[in-house]
Amino acid sequence: MTLPTNYIELKDFLDHKVASYNQPDFIENDPICIPHQFSKLQDIEIMGFWSSMLAWGQRKTIINKSNELIQLMDGAPYDFIVNHQEKDRERFLGFKHRTFQVIDTLYFLEFFQQFYQQNDSLESAFSQFIQQESEHIGAALAGFHDLFFALPDSPRRTRKHVATPVRKSTCKRLNMFLRWMVRQDDKGVDFGLWRSIQPAQLLMPLDVHVDKVARKLNLLDRKQTDWKTVLELTEKLRQFDKKDPVKYDFALFGLGVLGLV
């Protein structure tokens, strides 16, 4: 593949790839297929968040493990979360995914139950930490992390599964989840259900595929891959679309996972 060599060529190239990959066909083999099984806001939030937190390793395995969670919650995540009793958690004692263990599963259940018994939507768990004029969602990610682990006796080991920019993490999985919930278009992939965070405030979900392609396209100068790298890449992509820079996740991820760049 011949790579673009200037701004106009690169923008046209990326816009074309976004149009190619931001399609319903993308859903079937991606973890976003999990929340797409539901129509209720809270079901979409719960399974969108949980499947994105499990999103490392083979996509097929991530999808299978997320479907296992849905079955354990009787096919109705929100209803189960809000109404289940302590004894109902016993069925989760055999659930794990890579380093995501039983203790992590039980804490996710505890957080969700306490949160949804007091709040209608997970949106406020992020949006309360930023302003409408905030440049990006960095403070929302940090604030959510602290809120998520604010319950008494929250397991220290579970913290590795919910990232924060305070630890200089790329926060790839959180940024991916927020892309799903916030981005608004008519393509049918992202949900666009949350309105108190703007697409312009989103940050790129930076995984190995996106990182590799971004470097080949000279979109990154920073040698290491960390929080500052996410900020640098998103700022570069804002030059192509300041209102929706994260739409280019479709292009960079798609090119990377298909091995086209």
Full domain range(s) for residue 21? 7-257
Residue 261 pLDDT greater than 90, yes or no: no
Nearest to 197 by CA among 147, 112, 128, 148: 128
How sure is the predictor about 3, in pLDDT bands with cuts at 50, 70 and 90?
Answer: low
pLDDT at 4: 74
CB 149 within 8 A of CB 114: no
Domain assignment present for residue 1? The answer is: no
Domain count, the chain: 1
Lowest mean pLDDT among 1-10, 71-80, 108-117, 228-237: 1-10
Nearest to 144 by CA among 164, 159, 160: 164
CB 122 within 8 A of CB 112: no
Domain assignment present for residue 171? The answer is: yes
pLDDT at 195: 96
pLDDT at 260: 67
CB 22 within 8 A of CB 183: no
Domain assignment present for residue 149? The answer is: yes
Domain assignment present for residue 166? The answer is: yes
Domain assignment present for residue 2? The answer is: no
Q: What is the pLDDT of residues 82-126, one digit of tens each?
A: 999 999 999 999 999 999 999 999 999 999 999 999 999 999 999
